[in-house]
Structure 1
């Protein structure tokens, strides 16, 4: 996948992700929860438009999420954080073409912010390395570092301790139930398991570790999510991604995924995406020759 240039704008992929499992193993003294998960990047997601400015201003060309003020938008905050860290005097116009549904647990906002960091680092020539970009990303959100590093990964801590992982080819039927529950509310649920026993990568690779700590909470709380799980049970084992409402079923071939998709009720918002180990954003950077 390459970056696209149109009328002074360059366009960059911001891929979605899945959490192939998610366990909460404890709580830190600062109140944050320790977790274990596998982030799987996808070949589908949002697209970020960037146009450089010489006046140093960061301007959002339309909202990336309705109702979010420009100063609070993660893509704007990402650009400003990169400016400050690198002491860069250049600016940028930022445009977000949304495909990833908000609140689905597919990582849209975090991926958008990471794409702004990584692409502007190249376009501005600020020269920060992957570790530095991931560190900036962590200030913006726990999921931003995995997108900034651009590889599917085993994650621990609050999601910032990442180890690249090779995953077999897979295709996914994804469903967006259209439900958005604030993560803070889910963490307050008495039905949330917060003390799962830590597991190892080998446990996940063997197929014995699946499941998402938020699944029973959301299925109990939201009838729309329970209805999607019931619909997906006819094509395979349904899973939840992140702390959002997004659901998925994994397949070993695209053909199998497409056939399963065709069996689902037409009223579901469902589609197929492929898992990738390397972010399409890194592929786009490679084609530009500016890094």
Structure 2
């Protein structure tokens, strides 16, 4: 595909450094607590404005995700409807994050579409308004719209930026997926954990992921991944996906641990990011709207 007219925007993955359910809301949703950690690794969203008003996706694996379920397309359509504009766009997502891993790939892609098209189309919607649009697409979209490591509460919409120490992560994806609705319906799920505080997290208290025992019991592949990672550190689960990770203070030990893992875990080493690489790409975008290739670091 010709590069003419296309711009490239980072859509970083994330980790949930812990995840707790502290109660159930009147609307049936659960009150959660978590810390989102941005990663210097993820997808790349390619965009090209169209003059015919159509929103068209491109790529080799389009059949894997129906158009109605494609968050990137829905984000573009919702943004256009919100502002009642007739702009069109071509969208191509270069996928690196595995589906069902809990790394936030689809949510991050949608957030990148919202923020990048806001810049390309010159809408100047503001981050809060874009985050509100994103919340209707998925609970994880707002944190990617804001682009900062954050303590989150509610269903993930109440965000409080946090500074996190530099870290490297050994990621593993067992290649299985359990529907989030299935996990929330599990009778053994703990739904009334005591609320944690930012001080608890900062002190290194083992806050855990409430879905870890459920997934390890349902999926032998997740249990096997945890057992393998336990030989090199303390494994944790991210989100409600099957992705697992071990945190290291430096790259060297993380790479050494990777070399000790068995084949077939889909493992890699990535750096934690101080903030979303998307914010740097947005800052580099020409204010005159000239289309240029914008590349994030670490992709």
TM score, norm. by length of structure 1: 0.96
1:181 corresponds in structure 2 to 178
Please say if 1:136 is aligned against 2:159.
no
Q: Secondary structure at the match of 1:44?
A: strand
Over 3 Å counting, the alpha-carbon distance change for 1:54 and 1:45 in structure 2 is same
For 1:266 and 1:70, locate their aligned partners in 2 and report how far apart those are by CA, in whole Å: 34
Q: Secondary structure at the match of 1:140?
A: coil
Q: Is the CA contact 1:16–1:45 (under 8 Å) kept in the aligned structure 2?
A: yes
Over 3 Å counting, the alpha-carbon distance change for 1:75 and 1:120 in structure 2 is same
Q: Is the CA contact 1:64–1:95 (under 8 Å) kept in the aligned structure 2?
A: no
Please say if 1:242 is aligned against 2:239.
yes
2:294 corresponds in structure 1 to none
Q: Secondary structure at the match of 1:6?
A: coil
Q: Deviations for 1:221-278, whole angstroms, at most 9, x for unmatched residues?
A: 1100000000001100000000000000000001111111111112221001111121
Question: Which structure 2 residues correspond to residues 222-261 of structure 1 after superposition, within 5 A?
Answer: 222-261=219-258
Q: Deviations for 1:46-79, whole angstroms, at most 9, x for unmatched residues?
A: 1101000112111111377643222331101100
1:153 corresponds in structure 2 to 150
Please say if 1:76 is aligned against 2:61.
no
Residues paired across the two proteins, number: 287
Instruction: Note the residue ranges of structure 2 that are not aligned, 5 or more in a row.
Output: 290-299
Please say if 1:40 is aligned against 2:24.
no
Q: Secondary structure at the match of 2:272?
A: strand
For 1:131 and 1:63, locate their aligned partners in 2 and report how far apart those are by CA, in whole Å: 34
2:292 corresponds in structure 1 to none
1:288 corresponds in structure 2 to 285
Match of residue 166, structure 1, among 163, 167, 178: 163
Q: Is the CA contact 1:64–1:96 (under 8 Å) kept in the aligned structure 2?
A: no
Instruction: Note the residue ranges of structure 1 that are not aligned, 5 or more in a row.
Output: none
Cα deviation for residue 42 of structure 1 reads 0.1
Please say if 1:198 is aligned against 2:195.
yes
- 103-112 or 52-61: which moved more? 52-61
Please say if 1:85 is aligned against 2:70.
no
Please say if 1:29 is aligned against 2:35.
no
Q: Deviations for 1:175-211, whole angstroms, at most 9, x for unmatched residues?
A: 0000100000001111110000111101100001431
Q: Is the CA contact 1:63–1:96 (under 8 Å) kept in the aligned structure 2?
A: no
For 2:86 and 2:248, locate their aligned partners in 1 and report how far apart those are by CA, in whole Å: 47
What root-mean-square deviation, in Å, do the aligned CA atoms of Structure 1 and Structure 2 show?
Answer: 1.4
1:113 corresponds in structure 2 to 110
Q: Secondary structure at the match of 1:173?
A: strand
- 41-50 or 261-270: which moved more? 261-270
